[in-house]
Amino acid sequence: MASLELMGFDDLDQVFNKIADIPWDVTDSALQAMASVEKDKVKEQGERAGIRDEESSVHILDKLKVNKSKKDSAGGHADVTFSGTRTRGKGKKTRNAEIAFVNEFGKAGQAARPFVKNAVENFADEITAPGEKVIGDWLENEWEK
């Protein structure tokens, strides 16, 4: 990882100005890289928590999806979501996101298995590392100009 040594307020001001000038394509790359790792870690934690329904041919953990990055007031975000539906019981379709929600938070008679929360908390450094690298590489390249 790149390191940066600052000598006074002018250097700090220059760094903040560079950060403010990060183009969207760099931000997008960082967000997508982080979301991809988050997706893998959520799936891993879901497997550990026993979320996989062996009776079904459609598993919610296989339906994790990284969505396109979007700009927002904080700079941007990329969501990891559960896509699709599956048929349960007497032909009733249920969204995989709803199944994931019940597993995450529980319901009467079913204890919570917070696999998403655990993934984000336990692997925060691994999730953010690829984004830090993308931004750090860009800043290092810009600093040399």
Is the residue at 109 inside a domain?
A: yes
Q: Give dist(CA 80, CA 29) in Å, integer.
A: 15
Distances (CA, A) of 135 to 17, 52, 127, 132: 14, 35, 14, 5
Is the residue at 2 inside a domain?
A: no
pLDDT tens track for 44-81: 999 999 887 776 777 899 999 999 999 998 889 999 99
Residues with Cβ within 8 Å of residue 51, at least 6 apart in sequence: 60, 61, 100, 103, 113, 115
Is the residue at 108 inside a domain?
A: yes
Q: What domain range is 23 assigned to?
A: 9-144
Number of domain units in the chain:
1
Q: Which amino acid is at 20?
A: A
pLDDT tens track for 84-128: 998 877 888 889 999 999 999 999 999 999 999 999 999 999 999
Backbone angles phi, psi at 88, to 5 degrees: -130, 150
pLDDT tens track for 8-42: 666 666 666 666 778 999 999 999 999 999 999 99
Confidence (pLDDT) at 145: 65
Q: Give dist(CA 10, CA 43) in Å, integer.
A: 45
Whole-prediction pTM: 0.83
Burial class, 138, CB count within 10 angstroms (exposed 0-12 / middle 13-18 / buried 19+): buried
Is the residue at 3 inside a domain?
A: no
**Residue 106: both structure tokens together:** 């529980």
Is the residue at 4 inside a domain?
A: no
Residue 50 gets the label, from left (phi > 0), alpha (psi -120 to 50) or beta, of left
